């Protein structure tokens, strides 16, 4: 049986049961103390009791530190994730124990971030980080009794905006390439390469000559965003884009970093009078063109690296007028 002691206006509960560690907890009222004791002893009777001690003694700040040491370094986006960890560190919830954080606390966080003007995608990423931390604590850190507070606020998350559908229209490609040629440097062949291969900006910047097989017309991408290497078939237009490039001593194909590509692309679009187009839109354009050439979803996914058809669909924007002829 549980023992109850009144001390300085609070009620201390002590549970001793053979085969279990001693448990103690303090409550404001005896009613709360008795309810907690009944719950714990009932779980012990059914053989389903799991100690909450570690979850109740570990603060969110301590869990964030451990997560940052054990989990974050394994991710490709480790640098960006550290900024999100630091944001959670600065939040008042960081001094609370993991067991004390409830769904209401997460809902309040979402509401305050909305009021601060944070983008919906940013809030989703911050909440996803917190959710994964709780899941890791439950499955890998021995806190099986811990519930994930994010599971209780699924309907509270801000609605994500629809995916971009921007494609090149009319003579935009010709104007874009003309402006890129006038701008100089590598941005002109990089634009052509992006349209022909559907590669991501970072993948393009990381290309190496040793990974290009001109005989079989294939490029190996050994490290991708989703962690799976893939091979990209190269069109004759794509190979022609490489013909004028010198061989660098460091083995890289391009002399531009990802951020430099985006900056140059913005200037080229401005010079060409093209509005609302980003470099990443070229990946959407290239993916859509692969379907328009008659490739099936599995073939396109093998080229673009999308792991699910749902993600592939987000990058595919077929033009209705181009489908008319196929309907007959």
Q: Is 315 part of the annotated catalytic residue set?
A: yes
The pLDDT score that the predictor gives to residue 49 is 66
Q: Determine the angle formed by the axes of helices 120-139 and 60-70, rounding to 10 degrees.
A: 90
DSSP conformation letters of 162-230:
PPP-----TTHHHHHHHHHHHH-TTHHHHHHHHHHH---HHHHHT-BGGGEETTTTEEEESS-TTS--E
User: Is 124 assigned a catalytic role?
Assistant: no
Q: Does residue 16 have an active-site annotation?
A: no
Name the active-site residue from 132, 138, 157, 280.
280
**Active-site residue flag, 283:** yes
Give dist(CA 25, CA 23) in Å, integer: 7
Catalytic residue among 52, 91, 201, 306: 306
Pick the CATH number of 172-327 from 1.25.40.340, 1.10.10.10, 3.40.50.2300, 1.10.443.10: 1.10.443.10
Q: What is the pLDDT along the chain (328 residues), one digit of tens a residue?
A: 788 888 877 888 888 877 777 777 777 788 888 887 888 788 778 776 666 767 777 899 999 999 999 999 988 778 889 999 999 999 999 999 898 899 999 999 999 999 999 989 899 999 999 999 999 998 998 888 788 999 998 888 888 776 778 889 889 999 999 999 999 999 999 999 999 999 999 999 999 999 999 999 999 999 877 677 899 999 999 999 998 898 889 999 999 999 999 999 999 999 999 999 999 999 999 998 998 888 888 888 888 888 777 777 766 665 655 555 555 5
The active-site residue out of 315, 317, 319, 321 is: 315
- From CA 126, how far away is CA 124, in angstroms rounded? 6
Active site residue 270: no
Choosing from 225, 248, 270, 313, which is the catalytic residue? 225
Paired strand residues for 26:
12
State the catalytic residue, choosing from 52, 200, 284, 289: 200
- Establish whether 132 is a catalytic residue: no
2-33 residues labelled b (16+ CB within 10 A) or e (exposed): beeeeeeeebebebeeeeeeebebebeeeeeb
How is residue 306 written in tokens?
A: 């999308």
Q: Running DSSP on this structure, what letter comes out for residue 26? A: E
CA 31 to the chain's CA centroid: 45
Q: What is the pLDDT of residue 166?
A: 87
Residue in 52, 283, 284, 289 annotated catalytic: 283
CA dihedral 187→192→197→199, nearest 10 degrees, is: 20
């Amino acid at each position: 049986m549980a023992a109850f002691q009144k001390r300085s206006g609070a009620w201390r509960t002590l549970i001793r049961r053979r085969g279990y560690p001693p448990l103690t907890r303090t409550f404001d009222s005896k009613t709360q103390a008795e309810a907690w004791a009944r719950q714990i002893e009932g779980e012990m009777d059914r053989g389903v009791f799991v100690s909450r001690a570690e979850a109740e003694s570990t603060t969110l700040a301590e869990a964030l530190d451990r997560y940052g040491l054990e989990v974050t370094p394994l991710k490709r986006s480790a640098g960006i994730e550290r900024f999100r960890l630091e944001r959670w560190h600065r939040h008042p919830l960081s001094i609370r124990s993991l067991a004390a954080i409830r769904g209401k606390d997460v809902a309040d966080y979402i509401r305050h971030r909305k009021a601060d003007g944070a983008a919906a995608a940013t809030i989703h990423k911050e909440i996803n980080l917190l959710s994964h931390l709780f899941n890791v604590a439950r499955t890998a850190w021995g806190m099986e009794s811990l519930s994930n507070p994010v599971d209780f606020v699924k309907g509270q998350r801000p609605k994500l905006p629809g995916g971009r559908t921007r494609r090149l229209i009319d003579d935009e490609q010709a104007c874009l390439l003309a402006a890129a040629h006038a701008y100089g440097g590598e941005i002109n062949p990089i634009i052509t390469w992006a349209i022909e291969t559907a590669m991501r900006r970072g993948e393009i910047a990381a290309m190496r000559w040793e990974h290009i097989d001109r005989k079989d017309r294939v490029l190996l991408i050994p490290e991708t965003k989703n962690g799976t290497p893939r091979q990209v078939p190269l069109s004759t237009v794509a190979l022609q884009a490489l013909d004028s490039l010198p061989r660098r001593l460091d083995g890289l194909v391009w002399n531009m970093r990802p951020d430099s590509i985006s900056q140059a692309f913005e200037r080229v679009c401005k010079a060409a009078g093209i509005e609302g187009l980003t470099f990443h839109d070229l990946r959407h354009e290239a993916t859509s063109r692969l379907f328009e050439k008659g490739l099936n979803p599995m073939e396109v996914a093998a080229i673009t690296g999308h792991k699910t058809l749902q993600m592939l669909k987000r990058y595919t924007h077929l033009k209705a007028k181009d489908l008319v002829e196929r309907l007959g």
